[in-house]
Chains A and B, each alone.
Chain A
Amino acid sequence: MSASRNDMASPCVSLHGLCASFGAQRVLDGLDWQLTSGQVVGLLGRNGAGKTTLIETLLGVRDADAGQALLFGQPSHALPDAVRARIGYVPQRSDLFEWFTADQLLAYFRSFYPRWNDAKVRGLMSRWDIARDKPIGQLSGGQQQRLSIVRALAHEPDLLVLDEPVASLDPAGRRDFLGELVDQVVDRGTTIVFSTHILSGLERVAVEVAFLTGGRIALHAPLDELLESSVRLGGVPADIERFVAEHSLQALSRDARGPVVARGRDSRAMPPATPTVSVDPATLEDLFLALTA
């Protein structure tokens, strides 16, 4: 299909000036964000930063107060079925019908999609050890999450959106899940965005990271580049300030209580420490604490 070729160049997610509130509290505040095809992005933010609101608004599950959310060029609140079929979504809280069995649920969803990979579903169901004939309400939290992932992968989406996908998985389950994401990327070039509030190992598969804070994306960058250009500085504030100015660094820290992290223009050129200022390579955790205060 020539349509999917054209998509390669255009963004598959495009958000402009997105605003959303919870009662009186503004959660998204003029948020702009673009994802191009084939990206694997980790969306990082603290508890309550609005990650779920962002994901739901992006998908058109929730209405925005203002702004625009486009998926594959179409407004997300009124997606044509053909576009909807290209999207897979794993919500944070399982939205599966609890009285259905897994088999019934999958048969039900199968009817909505033009494409459905039965072999993949069978493989995952047996590999992930999900009971097929028990009511979903009786499955464990981890099994329900796995089932939700199977459901989202079954129709081979081009865009996969996952909200805290590993929250109720044990380390072995996380590993299986990450392996499955790797397959999606290799086999289909799926665009993947997932949110996470802890540093859960998901960064292993994220080539890019985006930090959500204050209702906006504070920074979206390739993870490798970010690690190679960022340093953690130690010392008294006046010395650090002078150091940052002397080396033309960009201070990233938003909160005096968090670590002091700064970014150089040039990746891999770490400025040397001085007797009053220590310089260490920054980790993703440093960046997370500095950027999401």
Chain B
Amino acid sequence: MPDPSFFSVVAGSAEPIYRQLVAQVRRCVAGGQLRAGDELPSVRDLAQSLAVNPMTVSKAFGLLEAEGLVTRRRGLAMVIAEQHRRPQPAADRIDLLRPTLERAAGEARQLQLPAAQALALFKTILNEHEGE
């Protein structure tokens, strides 16, 4: 079961906090970091650990359930749904990364950065986090 500190949110973003949480779970399920049967923290624990309103966490969990990513069990922690036994194919995972990279590409164009330089930076950043 992931610790509540597994999740993180940024306040002040244009993306509402509940959507940040949904996107995180979606990515971790796609990548296989969260798999069928893994428990999510309770609404209260996650709200406490992120210092966000419990209603915001409930909203995220509700959306995850509607998407079929998690299953609610009466009186127990929510779990990752049965069908998510293995990581999704790389093609699907890369699709999830696309919007973020499109945004980054737009900013690189505004900054008039050559593609090679932007790519080199992305590579460096990827490697920085390799060990984590």
A residues sitting closer than 8 Å to B (CB atoms) are 40, 175, 178-179, 182-183, 185-186, 199, 201, 203-207, 223-224, 227-228, 280-286
Contact = CB atoms under 8 A, between A and B. Distances in A.
Interface in B1-50: 9, 11-19, 43-44, 47-48, 50
Contacts of A199: 11-12
Nearest to A231: B14
Q: Is the interface of A mostly helix, strand, loop or mixed?
A: helix
B54 interface: yes
B120 interface: no
B34 to A, nearest CB: 23
A281 B15 contact: yes
A122 B13 CA distance: 37
Contacts of A201: 11, 51
Nearest to A199: B12
A136 to B, nearest CB: 27
A160 to B, nearest CB: 14
Interface of B: 9, 11-19, 43-44, 47-48, 50-56, 59
A182 to B, nearest CB: 5
B9 to A, nearest CB: 7
A204 B50 contact: yes
Given A40-B53, A185-B53, A224-B59, A204 B44 contact: no
Nearest to B18: A224
Contacts of A280: 14
Contacts of A183: 48
Contacts of A178: 51
Contacts, number: 62
Given A179-B48, A204-B9, A224-B59, A185 B54 contact: yes
A197 to B, nearest CB: 15
Contacts of A40: 53, 55
B51 A204 contact: yes
B78 to A, nearest CB: 16
Contacts of B11: 199, 201, 203-204
Given A204-B53, A207-B56, A224-B18, A283 B47 contact: no
Nearest to A287: B14
Contact of A186 (B13, B19, B44, B59): B44
Residue from B43, B53, B55 whose CB has the most chain A CB atoms within 10 Å: B53
Nearest to B49: A179
A182 B12 contact: no
A201 B52 CA distance: 9
Contact of A227 (B16, B44, B52, B53): B16
B67 to A, nearest CB: 15
Contact of A182 (B9, B15, B19, B48): B48
A223 B16 contact: yes
Nearest to B44: A186
Nearest to B54: A186
B55 A207 contact: yes
A34 B76 CA distance: 37
20 contacts: A175-B51, A178-B51, A179-B51, A182-B48, A182-B52, A182-B53, A185-B54, A185-B55, A186-B44, A199-B12, A205-B51, A205-B53, A207-B55, A224-B18, A224-B19, A228-B16, A283-B12, A283-B13, A283-B14, A286-B14
